[in-house]
Structure 1
Amino acid sequence: MSVDTKQPAYTLVFDPSSNGQTYSATDFQKSLEKGSDEEKIVTMKAILATMLEGNPLPELLMHIIRFVMPSKNKQLKKLIYFYWEIVPKLDEDGKLRHEMILVCNAIQHDLQHPNEYIRGNTLRFLTKLRESELLEQMVPSVLACLDYRHAYVRKYAILAVFSIYKVSSHLLPDAKEIISTFLAAETDPICKRNAFLALSELDREGALTYLEANITNIEGLDPLLQASFVEFIRTDATHTPSLKSQYIELLLELLSSATSDEVIFETALALTVLTSNQSILVATVTKLVDLAVRVSDNNVKLIVLDRIQDINASNPGSLEELTVDILRVLNAEDLDVRSKALDISMSLVTSRNVEDVLQLLKKEVQTTVNNKDNDKSMEYRTLLIKTIRTVAIKFGEMAGNVVSLLLDFISDLNSVAASGVIVFIKEVMEKYPQLRESLLNNLLLKLDDLKSAKAYRGALWILGEYAETEHEIQDCWKHIRTSVGEVPILQSEKSKLNKNKEGEEDEEKELTQKQGGPIILPDGTYATESAFGANEQKEVSEDEEEDKRPPIRRFVLSGDFYTASILASTIIKLVLRFEKLSKNAGIINALKAEGLLILVSIIRVGQSSLVKKPIDEDSTERLLSAIAILMDETNPNEKSSERELLELAFLQATKESFKSQIAASKRINKKISTKSLGENAELIEKPIIFRQLVGEDSNIVQKDSIQEDLELAIKGNAARSNTHSVTSMLKKIVPLTGFSDPVYAEVYITNNQFDVVLDVLLVNQTKETLKNLHIQFATIGDLKIIENPPRVNVVPHGFHRVTVTVKVSSADTGVVFGNIIYDGGHGQDARYVILNDVHIDIMDYIKPSKTDADNFRSMWNRFEWENKISVKCDLPSLPNYLDELVKGTNMNVLTNLESLNDNSRFLSCNLYAKSSFGEEALANVCVERDVETKSIVGTVRIRSKGQGLALSLGDRVAMIAKESKAFKLARV
C-alpha cells in the first residue's frame, strides 16, 4: 500500500520506569560508562523513553558511541538502532553532525556482519532513515546483501533498496532494474512479496509484466504473493479503468480457487471496490459469509460482518437473496456476532424471503428454550424476540403467524422478553385491525401461563382497550374472574390455611408414630429421617402451590398491587364499553357487582397479614376511585356530561395517546430510512462515464474506499485540524501563575483519547538567571504524570517551554497541581512558586450514544451508583433547559419529545452517554416550570457503574443551573 513516507514514524518503546522515577543526563552517562551489558540495556530503555517524551539528550551521543556501540550483545544492538532512529542527526545549520561519521562506519560493519540477524536488523533500520548523506555510503553494502544466502537478510535488503530510492532517486538510479532482476531470480515467498510491492510502487509497467507472466499459475502461488497481486490490481484498476473488466475476471478466478482466508478477504474487498454488479457482489459476499462461518476467532467474524454491512449500505438491494445465508453465522457463541448478523439480515428481509427468515428464527428460539440453564441463551432469546418483532411490524401479513409463534414461547421467556412480546402485540393490534379478534383469542388462551407481572399488566391493558364486542368483553371478563380465583380472597385464603394446618398436624402425628425405629435403606444400611428433609419438602410444596395459583391472585398475594390497580382500570373500561354495546341490565349489573367484589376483596387482603407486602397508598387510592366510579354508575341521577367525561378518560384518551406514540415512531423510522437513502442516492446531474470512451490519459479516477480508510487511519481526519481556530485554542490556555510572580507560567491543554498533554510556557520575569529551574506536577483522581521535565537554566527575561504528559484512566474529575522550583542566591534556600490548579475537563471523554429502552432499564437497575441533583434555574422554557443540559453533559436524549414546546409545564426524559474508556452513564430528568415564579425546578438522577462518573456529571448538571442564575451585564 502506498503510504506517505515523508513523515517520520518511530518505533514505540515500553517505558520501564512505571514508578515515575526520573534521571538526569549525568546519571545516564555514569551508568553507560561503568555498567554491565544488562545495566546498559535498562539505561538505554530509559534513554529512549526520555527522548520520546521530547527531551533529545544531545550530550549522550558520544557516550553511546563510545560505550554502547562496540558491544556485541544482540539486545543492546537492537536498542541502539532504535536510538539511531530518533537521535537528531543534523546540527543547527542543517548539516550532518560530525559524530555520525563514526555511526556510518559501525552501520557498514553491521551490514557485512556474518550473523544474519544483525544484518537484517541493520537493513530494517535503513528503511527508516531519511538522510541521503548517510544512505549514500550504505548503497554498496545494501546491494551486496541482495545476494546473501539467508532469506531474512534478503527480504529487508530489497525493502532498503526501495526506501533509498524513495528518499533520493539519484543514489540508486537503476533501482527498478535491480528489483526486477531480484524478483525474477528469487524463490522465497516473503522476499518475492516485498520485491513485488516495491516494484508496483516504482514501476507500474514492470509489475504489470510480472503479473501477466504469472496469471496462468496464480492459483498455485504463495498466499503472500497472491495478496500483493490483489492489492496491485485494486490500485491499478482505479487509475486505469480500461483494464477493469480483465482485472475483475482475474479476481473472480482467484476468489473461487483461493484457500487462504487472508487472500479471500482481500480479494472480496477488492471486487466490491471495483464493481457494483449484483451477481459479482452476491458471489463475493457468499465467500465472505463462508469465511465468517468457518473462522473461529470472533474478532474476525465481526470484521467480516462489518465489511458485509458496508457493502450492503453502499449497494442497497443487491444482497437480498443472501439473507438466510448470512443467518448461518448465528452458530457462533458470541452474542455480539449474533447481534451483528441479525442486524444485517433484518436490513435485507423482503416479502419474498420473510417466511424463510421467520422459520429459521423460530428454530433458533426453540433451541434457546431447550437450553434453560445458560444465561447467554436468555440474552440470545431476548435478542431473537426483538428481531422477530421487527420483522412482523415491517411485514403486516406475517403478524398473525408471528404472534402465535411468540405466544407459544411466552411462558418460557423472562420478564423483559415477555414484556417485549406484549408490546409487540399492542402495536400489531393497533396497526392491523383485521387481526384483533384472532389475536385477542390467542392472548386469552396464553395469559394463564404468564409469570411476569409486567407483561401481565400490558396484557390487561390490551384486554381493556381492544375488547370491542359483547362476546369479546364477556370472554375477557371470564378470564379475569378465573384469574382472580375464589372471592372474597381473604376468607378463602384463611380457610385454606386452616385446612393446611390441620393436615400438617395429622402428618406430624403419623411421623411420630413411624419414628419408633431406624429406616432400612435399599442398600441394606440403617438410617434415620432428618427434620431438614421434611422442612425442604414443605418449602417445595409451598412454592408449587404458589405457582398453581391463577395469575392475578398470585400477583396480589405476593404484594404486587400495581397490577391490581391496572386491573381496576381494565374492569372500568370493560363495564363502560359493555354499557355502550348492550341494553341487558341484568348482565351489566352483574358485571358491576362482580367487579366491586373483586376490588373490595383485593383491598381487604392487601390490608391483612396474608400478603408478603401490604398495599401501598397509591394503589389503595386507585382501587377506591374505581370502586367509587362503579358505585356512581348505579346512580340514576348521573349527568350526561359526567358520563362523557368518564368515557373520554377511560375509553378514548389512552388509545389516542398510544396511536400518537406509534405515529411518532413511524415518523422517526421514516426519517432514518430517508437519511440512509439520501446518503446512498446518486445525483441526477452526476456525469455518465463510458468505459470505451475513456482514454489512458483521462483524469477520471475511481474512488478507492480502502485506500481512503487507510490514509484516514494513518493521518487522522485532516479536516478537523482546520476547525481549530485561534480563538478556540486560546480558550484552552490556562494561566498557572500571576504576572507579579518571578516566573510567569501558562499551559495549553491538548486532550487526546487516553492522555492529556500539558504544553507549559515559562517566562523568567527577573533580571537574573534562574538556575536549576524545574516544574513539578502532582495529580488528584485517576490521573498519572508520566514524567516531570528536567532542570534547566533560564536567562533573564528568557522563555522556556516544557511538555508534560498525563495519563487518564477514567472519565473522572481530575486535578493537576504543582509548583516551580529554582535555586536561590548564594547561601539561600531554593525558591518556590505555587501554581494554580488545572482541572481536566471530563467532557472531552464523554460522547453521546444510543441504546434501546429495555437495555436502559436493565442498566438502570444494575448500576449501583446514583447521584441525585436538585435543579432550580431561571431559563425561559423547558426546551432551553434540555438543550443546555445536553450541551453541558454531552449526553444523548433517548425519549421522543415531539410534543414538547416552549409552553410545556412538565418534562421527563432519559439521557445516555458513553466515555472513551467504555463507561456508561444514564440520566433521568424530571423537571417542571413553576407557574408563579416561572423558574424551572425538579431533579436529575444520574446512574453509572462507578462513583467518579456519576459525581462528575452531577457537578456539570449543578454548574448548568448556577450559570443560568449568574448575573449578565447587558450594557456598560
Structure 2
Amino acid sequence: MTVENEELAYTLVFDPSRSGNSYTVSDFQKALEKGSDEDKVETMKHILVTMLEGNPLPELLMHIIRFVMPSKNKKLKKLLYFYWEIVPKLDEEGKLRHEMILVCNAIQHDLRHPNEYIRGNTLRFLTKLKEAELLEQMVPSVLACLEYRHAYVRKYAILAVLSIYKVSDHLLPDAKDVLNTFLAAETDPICKRNAFVGLSELDREAALIYLEENITAIEALDPLLQAAFVQFIRRDAIHTPTLKAQYIDLLLDLLKSTTSHEVIFETALALTALSSDASVLTVAASKLIDLAVKVFDNNVKLIVLGRIDDINDKNPGSLEELTLEILRVLNAEDMDVRRKALDIAMNLVTSRNVDNVVRLLKTELQNTVYNSEKEKSMEYRQLIIKTIHVIAIRFVEVAANVVSLLLDCIGDLTSSAASGVISFVKEVIEKYAHLREPILKNLIMVLDNVKSAKAYRGALWILGEYAETYQEIQRCWKHIRSSVGEVPILQTELKRISENSEKDEETDEVPQKRTGPIVLSDGTYGSENAFNSEKSSSEDERDLRPPLRRFILNGDFYTGSILASTSIKLVLRLEKTSRDDSILNALKAEALLILVSIIRVGQSSLVEKKIDEDSLERIVTGISILMDDLDPTESDAERKLLETAFLDATKSSFKTQVARSKHKNAKISARNLSKAAEPIDAPVAFRQFAHADTRAAEDDMIEEDLQLALKGNYDSLSANSAMSKLRKVVPLTGFSDAVYAEAYITTHQFNVVLDVLLVNQTRETLKNLHVQFATLGDLKIVDTPSSTNVVPHGFHKVSVTVKVSSADTGVIFGNIIYDAAHGEDAHYVILNDVHVDIMDYIKPGKTDDEHFRTMWNAFEWENKISVKSQLPSLHAYLEELVKGTNMGVLTPAEALGENDCRFLSCNLHAKSSFGEDALANLCIEKDPSSGQVVGHVRIRSKGQGLALSLGDRVALIAKQTGKVQLSRV
C-alpha cells in the first residue's frame, strides 16, 4: 500500500539584489563553469528564482552536477539542496533521469558526512523527496543516522523515516517498530516529540500505550512533548468518544500544572473542541485570559482573544462569570487589543454583572481623563464612551449613573468624544422617559463647560425637544441667556475693546521701574516670552467667555441657527404650558434681541469670518416666525402647521431612527444566536451507545480551521469551471498575425499571473521568439520569459507574474519578437493592451457615520462625476452603481425612500485589498421634464489613483446604461 502523496510545497528563495536583467541558459552555464564559489552562489540564486517562476531549465542539470556539487562551500551546498527540490527528476516518459544516479550518490555521501549540520540538512531534504526509486537507496543511511550522537541529526532522521513510509510503505515495512524502539531509547525532547508525532500518525495503539505509560509524569515532561500529547488526545478523542471523559480530565490536570504558554494554548483549545460543559469552558477560557494578559506580543493577544470569542459564539452564556477577567486585558497599550477585549466583554454583559462592568469602565475613563499624556488616550477614551453608551442603552438600571458620569467628564473630552456623549444622552432621554427631568437638569448644569461647538449644538437640540414643563423651559432659557452674555453682542464687544485699549495706553505711560533680570526665591533667574504674552492673554480672555458667545465670536454661526430653532421650540411650548402673557412676551423679545444681535455681529468686521448665507437665512426665518407669532390674525391652520414642523417632525424622525437602530441590533443578535443554535431535528448522540472503534464522530473544528487557512474559502467548482476560465481569456494578437497569442488571467491577492499561449501560424520555425511586457501604473513585471524556438504550427506557453501595489488602474502592454530568415531584421508583433480590473481588489466596506465623516474631511482627493442616465428609477441607478464599483451602501434602506421617489442621496464605502478606503456620496434626482436620472457622484480617497479609477468605473456605468436598444431593424 502506498500512502496518498500530498501536494509538494517547495522552499521559496528570494534574491533581494536581483536586477531586472534576464539571463539565458548559456549565461548560466558560463557562470557555473568559470566563476568562484561566491559567484556561483549568486548564479544559483538567479537559477532558483527563474525555476520557481515556471522555467525548469533542464539543460543546467549536468553543469550543476559537474561544477556545483563537488564544492564544499556551505552556502552553495544549501542552495544545491533547494535546487534538488524543484529540479525535474523524471524524463518525458515518466522514468527517472539517468543523471539522478550521480545525485543519489552525492546525497548518500552527505548522509555519512562528519559534519552534523550537513547530515541534518540532507535528511530534511529527504522529507520533501517523493520519488520512491531515489529513496530506496537512502534507507540504510537514514536508519544509521537514527543512532548518531548529535540530536540535530536524529530529529531529522526520524522525520525522514516517517516521510519515506508515507511515500511507499514497502521501503520501510517495519517503520512502526523503528519509531517505537527509537521513542523508548531516546532522551532528547525534540527527538522524542518528532518520534511520537510519527508514531501517532502510523500506529494509534502504540502511541496510546506510550501516552498511558507517561500519564503519571506528564507534568514533568518537556513542553514540546506535552503539546504533541495534547494534539494526539484531541484527534483521538474526537474519533474515540468512549475515551473522551478520561481525556478531558487529563487535559484539565495538565492545564492546571503546566507553565508553558504553548501548552496552555493548545490544551485550552483541545478542551473547547472536546467539551461544551460550562465548567470546563470556564477553566479553559480563564487560562486563555491569563495568557492574553501575560504575553507581550499584541498579535498573540489578538489570536487568544479571537479564540475566546469563538468559545462564546459557540456556547452563548457559558463565559458570563469571566466578564471582568476579560477586561484585565485593557492594560495593554494596543488599541486593537483593547477594542477586541471590549467587544467580547459587551457580549457577556448581563443584568447580574452590569454594575461591576460599568464601575470598572468608569475607572478606566477617569484614568484617561487624568492621564492625558499617554499616546492614543483620546482614541481610547472615545472607545470607552462608546462601550458605556451600548451598555446604558441595553440596561436601564445603570443609564442614570452612566449619564451623570459622562456629563461630568464632558468638559475634559475632545470634540468627537463630547459629541458622542451628547448622542448617547439623546438616545437615553428618548428611550427612558422617567429619566428626562434629572438628565435635563444635569445637562444644563454642565453645558457651561462644553468646549465643542458640535456637542453644544446637540445639547441645544435636546433642550428644544425635551424641555416640556414650565420649570424646564425657564431653566433652559436661563442658561441660554447666560451663555449668550450681555446683549447686544456687537456694542458690548466694541465697548470692551475700547476699554482694553485705554488700559493699554495707561500702562504704556507708566515708567518701567525694573529692567534687570528677575531673581526667584530659589536663587535662579526667571524668564518670560515677550512675544506670546499678549497673544496668550487675549486667547485666555476669549476662552473665559460663555459658550454661545465664544462660538459666535469665533465665526461658528451654524450654532446660532440651531439657537434660532431652539428658541422657537421653547416659545411654542411655553405658549402651551403658561397663560402668563407677560412672561411669554418677555421670552419672545429676548429671543428676537439675541438673534438680531447674532446677525449684526456676523455682518461686522469684529469676526474673522462673516456669517454664511445659509445660517443667515435660517436665523432670519426664525426672527420672522417669532414676529408672525405676535400677529393675532394668524389662523389655526397656520399655527398647527408651525407646531407640526417644529415640535413633532424632528422628534418623530429621531424616534424612527432609534427604533430602526433597535431593530437592527435585534436582527444582529438573532443572527448570532442562530449560528450557535442546534436544529430542532438534530439527532442526540449518546456516548454510552458508541463503539470504541467508531469513526462516526464530530468534525475536528481546529483541523477545519487549519485547512481553511491553507486552502481558502472559495468554491472550487465555480472557480475552476470552464465558463469561468473562458471569461478570463484575453486575445493579445489577431488571427491573421504570424504569431497568435492569448492570455489567461489569474488574479491573486497581490499579483496577476498571465498564462500566455503562443501559436506559430507559419510554415517556418520561428527562432529566438520571446515576449516582452511592460506596464503603466502601479504594476511591476516580476519575471521575464526566456527566448525559445517554435516549430511550424507549434505551441509554446509562457507565464508572466505582475506585482500589483495599489488598486489603481493599470495597463500591461508588450510585443513579440522573433528572428527573420537570411539575416533580415527581426519581426515584431504588437500585443493588445491588458487592463487590470481594479474591481478584483475592491470589496464593499462597512463603517459608522462618525467614522465616515472623519475620513471624508481627512481625504484630500475628490473626483466629482456628473450623472445622466436613462434608467427608469433612482434605485435602479443605485443598484448599477453598487454592482459596477463594488461599494457598500451605508445609508439604511429605510432612508432611501420608495422606488418611485424623485430624490435620492446616500453614502457608499469600499476598501481595497491594500488597506485603502474609498468613500462616495450619491445625490441624484429624476428630471421631471426629460425623465432622466441626473445628479452627481463625489468620490474621495487618500490617494489620487483610487479616486480616478472609481470615477472611470462610474463613467463606464453611464456608457453601458445609456446605450440605445433597438426593438427591431
State the distance in 2 between where 1:320 and 1:621 align: 55
Structure 1 stretches of 4+ with a deviation exceeding 4 A read 522-530, 969-972
Superposed CA deviations along residues 5-57 of structure 1, whole A, max 9, x for unmatched, are: 42111001113463221101111111111111111111111111111111111
Instruction: Give the AA of the match of 2:457.
Output: R
State the distance in 1 between where 2:593 and 2:4 align: 83
| 1:126-137 correspondence runs (5 A) | 126-137=126-137
State the distance in 1 between where 2:402 and 2:548 align: 26
Report what 2:489 is aligned to. 489
Deviating more after overlay: 830-839 vs 695-704: 695-704
Query: SS where residue 33 of structure 1 aligns?
Result: helix
Query: Is the alpha carbon distance of 1:580 and 1:162 closer, same or farther for their aligned partners in structure 2, counting shifts above 3 Å?
Result: same
Report what 1:651 is aligned to. 647
CA contact (8 A) 1:518 1:526 kept: no
CA contact (8 A) 1:461 1:566 kept: yes
Superposed CA deviations along residues 612-649 of structure 1, whole A, max 9, x for unmatched, are: 21111111111111111111011111111111110111
Out of 905, 909, 928, the residue aligned to residue 908 of structure 1 is: 905
State the distance in 1 between where 2:132 and 2:518 align: 98
CA contact (8 A) 1:17 1:46 kept: no
Report what 1:880 is aligned to. 876
Query: SS where residue 166 of structure 1 aligns?
Result: helix
| 1:785-824 correspondence runs (5 A) | 785-824=781-820
Instruction: Give the AA of the match of 2:387.
Output: T
Query: Is the alpha carbon distance of 1:184 and 1:901 closer, same or farther for their aligned partners in structure 2, counting shifts above 3 Å?
Result: same
State the distance in 1 between where 2:380 and 2:765 align: 70
Out of 943, 953, 958, the residue aligned to residue 956 of structure 1 is: 953
CA contact (8 A) 1:457 1:566 kept: yes
CA contact (8 A) 2:718 2:724 kept: no
State the distance in 1 between where 2:468 and 2:413 align: 29
In the TM superposition, residue 714 of structure 1 has moved relative to its aligned partner by 2.1
Report what 1:717 is aligned to. 713
Instruction: Give the AA of the match of 1:935.
Output: Q
State the distance in 2 between where 1:525 and 1:79 align: 72
State the distance in 2 between where 1:522 and 1:16 align: 62
Report what 2:823 is aligned to. 827
Superposed CA deviations along residues 499-538 of structure 1, whole A, max 9, x for unmatched, are: 111111111112x4436x54563499999998x61x4222
Report what 2:944 is aligned to. 947
CA contact (8 A) 1:518 1:527 kept: no
Report what 1:514 is aligned to. 513
Report what 1:849 is aligned to. 845
State the distance in 1 between where 2:375 and 2:72 align: 58
Report what 1:386 is aligned to. 386
Instruction: Give the AA of the match of 2:269.
Output: L
Query: SS where residue 761 of structure 1 aligns?
Result: strand
State the distance in 1 between where 2:42 and 2:676 align: 55
State the distance in 1 between where 2:899 and 2:160 align: 68
Superposed CA deviations along residues 327-381 of structure 1, whole A, max 9, x for unmatched, are: 0000001111100000000010000000000000000001100112334100100
Query: SS where residue 804 of structure 1 aligns?
Result: strand
State the distance in 1 between where 2:917 and 2:350 align: 36
Report what 1:267 is aligned to. 267
Out of 930, 934, 953, the residue aligned to residue 933 of structure 1 is: 930
Superposed CA deviations along residues 166-192 of structure 1, whole A, max 9, x for unmatched, are: 100011000000000000000000000
In the TM superposition, residue 254 of structure 1 has moved relative to its aligned partner by 0.4
Q: Which runs of 5+ in 2 are unaligned?
A: none
State the distance in 2 between where 1:352 and 1:720 align: 48
CA contact (8 A) 2:164 2:171 kept: yes
Query: SS where residue 170 of structure 2 aligns?
Result: helix
Report what 2:171 is aligned to. 171
Report what 1:188 is aligned to. 188
CA contact (8 A) 1:519 1:526 kept: no
State the distance in 2 between where 1:444 and 1:740 align: 83
Q: Does residue 563 of the first structure (1) align with residue 562 of the second (2)?
A: no
CA contact (8 A) 1:518 1:528 kept: no
In the TM superposition, residue 969 of structure 1 has moved relative to its aligned partner by 4.2
Report what 2:12 is aligned to. 12
State the distance in 2 between where 1:610 and 1:880 align: 51
State the distance in 2 between where 1:101 and 1:898 align: 74
State the distance in 1 between where 2:713 and 2:55 align: 28
Q: Does residue 293 of the first structure (1) align with residue 293 of the second (2)?
A: yes
In the TM superposition, residue 432 of structure 1 has moved relative to its aligned partner by 0.7
State the distance in 2 between where 1:453 and 1:761 align: 65
Report what 1:576 is aligned to. 572
Superposed CA deviations along residues 875-922 of structure 1, whole A, max 9, x for unmatched, are: 211221111111111111112121422112222222112111111112
State the distance in 1 between where 2:524 and 2:877 align: 78
Query: SS where residue 184 of structure 2 aligns?
Result: helix
Query: SS where residue 440 of structure 2 aligns?
Result: helix
| 1:175-324 correspondence runs (5 A) | 175-324=175-324
Report what 1:44 is aligned to. 44
What is the total number of aligned residue pairs between the two structures? Answer: 966
Q: Does residue 472 of the first structure (1) align with residue 468 of the second (2)?
A: no
- Over the aligned positions, Cα root-mean-square deviation in angstroms equals 1.6
State the TM-score, normalizing by the size of structure 1: 0.98
Instruction: Give the AA of the match of 2:925.
Output: E
In the TM superposition, residue 698 of structure 1 has moved relative to its aligned partner by 2.8
| 1:433-444 correspondence runs (5 A) | 433-444=433-444
Instruction: Give the AA of the match of 1:155.
Output: K
Instruction: Give the AA of the match of 2:577.
Output: L
Query: SS where residue 797 of structure 2 aligns?
Result: strand
State the distance in 2 between where 1:703 and 1:90 align: 39
State the distance in 2 between where 1:520 and 1:551 align: 38
Report what 1:340 is aligned to. 340
Query: Is the alpha carbon distance of 1:332 and 1:520 closer, same or farther for their aligned partners in structure 2, counting shifts above 3 Å?
Result: closer
Instruction: Give the AA of the match of 1:147.
Output: E
* Percentage identity across paired residues of the two chains: 70
Deviating more after overlay: 910-919 vs 130-139: 910-919
Query: SS where residue 521 of structure 1 aligns?
Result: coil
Report what 1:966 is aligned to. 963
Query: Is the alpha carbon distance of 1:4 and 1:939 closer, same or farther for their aligned partners in structure 2, counting shifts above 3 Å?
Result: farther
In the TM superposition, residue 798 of structure 1 has moved relative to its aligned partner by 1.4
Query: Is the alpha carbon distance of 1:554 and 1:528 closer, same or farther for their aligned partners in structure 2, counting shifts above 3 Å?
Result: closer
Superposed CA deviations along residues 289-321 of structure 1, whole A, max 9, x for unmatched, are: 001111111111111001101111111111011
Instruction: Give the AA of the match of 2:965.
Output: K
In the TM superposition, residue 725 of structure 1 has moved relative to its aligned partner by 2.8
Query: SS where residue 417 of structure 1 aligns?
Result: helix
In the TM superposition, residue 831 of structure 1 has moved relative to its aligned partner by 0.6
State the distance in 2 between where 1:971 and 1:286 align: 73
State the distance in 2 between where 1:259 and 1:618 align: 67
Report what 2:916 is aligned to. 919
CA contact (8 A) 2:145 2:154 kept: yes
Query: SS where residue 583 of structure 1 aligns?
Result: coil
State the distance in 1 between where 2:66 and 2:436 align: 91
CA contact (8 A) 1:16 1:45 kept: no
In the TM superposition, residue 728 of structure 1 has moved relative to its aligned partner by 2.4
Query: SS where residue 532 of structure 2 aligns?
Result: helix
CA contact (8 A) 1:272 1:281 kept: yes
Report what 2:686 is aligned to. 690
Instruction: Give the AA of the match of 2:880.
Output: E
CA contact (8 A) 1:418 1:452 kept: yes
Report what 2:534 is aligned to. 538
Instruction: Give the AA of the match of 1:685.
Output: D
Query: Is the alpha carbon distance of 1:358 and 1:4 closer, same or farther for their aligned partners in structure 2, counting shifts above 3 Å?
Result: farther
Out of 605, 609, 614, the residue aligned to residue 609 of structure 1 is: 605
Superposed CA deviations along residues 900-956 of structure 1, whole A, max 9, x for unmatched, are: 221122222221121111111122222222222222222222222211111111111
Q: Does residue 673 of the first structure (1) align with residue 669 of the second (2)?
A: yes
Query: Is the alpha carbon distance of 1:366 and 1:5 closer, same or farther for their aligned partners in structure 2, counting shifts above 3 Å?
Result: farther
